[in-house]
Amino acid sequence: MFIMSEDSQRTQGRDAQSSNIMAGKAVAEAVRTTLGPRGMDKMLVDSGGEVVITNDGATILNEMDIEHPAAQMIVEVADSQEEEVGDGTTTAAVIAGNLLGEAEDLIEQDVHATTIVEGYHEAAEIALEAIESQVGEAEVDDEILKQVAESSMTGKGTGGLTAESLAETVVEAIRHVEMDAGVQRDNVSIHTQIGASSNATELVPGIVVDEEAAHDAMPANVEDASIAVLDVELGVRTGEIDAEYAIDSIDQLNQAIDAEESEVRGYAETIAESGADVVFTTEDVDDRVSTFLANEGVLVFESVGDSDARDIASATGARRVGALDDLEEDDFGAADHIRTKNYGDDDLAFVEGGAAAEAVTVFVRGGTEHVVDELERAIEDALDVVATALASGEVVPGAGATEIAIADTIRSEAAGIEGRKQLAVNAFADAIDVVPRTLAANTGQDPIDSLVDLRAAHESEGRAGLITAGEEVTIDDPFEYGVVDPADVKREAIESATEAATMIVRIDDVIAAE
């Protein structure tokens, strides 16, 4: 009797578990070498020849276009990490992969999957408590926030800029949008522009949009600007159906021309008399209107994208107006300075200061598209982790020190756990060790020797990480070197990796229907 289609495929028992675990481990292994300050980049080429060069875990896994359902769960771990805290995607994926590897060994020893799952969840709870014990006592001030940003960006592609100099820009941006209600992370945007060195990257107190003036004679700079944002076509009205009009005389033609001219001049005069200095409209602007407004010294941008119009209105405090007759002074937004600037084939508008200063833009420069793309990813992650650290006020040592403490705590607690579940708890600790082991391997050190030295230093000193300082690699307190991470990054990595690994381990039947 056939229950499923003849084209369906079914894998059961150990074969299903082995297949899923192997897929998860393969995905984790793909990003393992990118971890740490000396992690390497990956080049990903799609079927159309598009190239992405990055060492960002979430980007790599998404660009790989993974189809295996179990492997997709590891991708989701990285995506969740990116969404929640902005960094630690590679760490989370690597831990998940090693949890699967340890689980595979236990299954071969006839430890039931449910026992492994229970042990992993219990170990995860111990790990979260260990993270709490590692939280630094110092207040999270600007100096620590810079260290958080720098730790996040170290080892990532930052062009000719140092992570230290970029960290100052990142912290300044986050502090700028810190309100009584908390950090308004959405008020910080990144705008990339190819050309010049990455050293030209700057913080703009306002927003940057890809727009050019509607007329060459319009002013390139406007100070203390009153801004109108319109959804109005500033040109001759046209019907929605095709129609022809018969003109029998020159007088009728002149009347039609005069009526058209009167209509467009009316638009221009209404705007000029309203007191608006700068106009952004999502619709087209007739050349005669733009010429008249240029003569009046009004700066106009036409065919503005809906998202840009929304951002401009939000940043400047303007209200979008759908009919010119409804335009009033109360609808205007404000900015200290609006300027236009040409960058090769691109024209940009900078809306700065005044009400617009509630939003800030990191204006990223770089010599090539690959440089600015990777720099954008690095800054995006740094902005997220700084906002996370500022919101929670908790940071922990990086450089593998927190993972060493987690593993040590779990092993200590495992002695009091009865039955085979103790094997799973110890296996969880072994999986966490993958972080310091990988950091050691990626810096050219022997992973086993480094792990032994780190454990010994942790036992004697209480806090020990693998510090990369120039060409030297040493074991010391990461706080002394400014290598710190938000505690929430570690928590999220443990929780998301555990959830994904335990879900995969519990699967013993895979049914694929075509």
Active-site positions read 56, 89-90, 381
What phi and psi values does residue 406 have, to the nearest 5 degrees? -60, -50
The whole-angstrom separation of Cα 52 and Cα 54 is 6
Can you list the alpha helix ranges (DSSP code H) found in 341-486?
Answer: 369-392, 401-414, 421-432, 434-442, 447-461, 478-481
Token readout for 294 is: 């240029």
CB 394 within 8 A of CB 495: no
The whole-angstrom separation of Cα 503 and Cα 351 is 49
Concatenating the DSSP letter of every residue in 273-306 gives: HHT-SEEEESS-B-HHHHHHHHHTT-EEE-S--H
Q: Helix axis angle, 434-442 relative to 421-432, nearest 10°?
A: 30
The whole-angstrom separation of Cα 394 and Cα 409 is 20
CB 101 within 8 A of CB 21: yes
CB 209 within 8 A of CB 351: yes
CB 364 within 8 A of CB 195: no
Q: How many CA atoms lie within 13 A of 355 on its CB side?
A: 15
How large is the C-alpha radius of gyration of the chain?
29
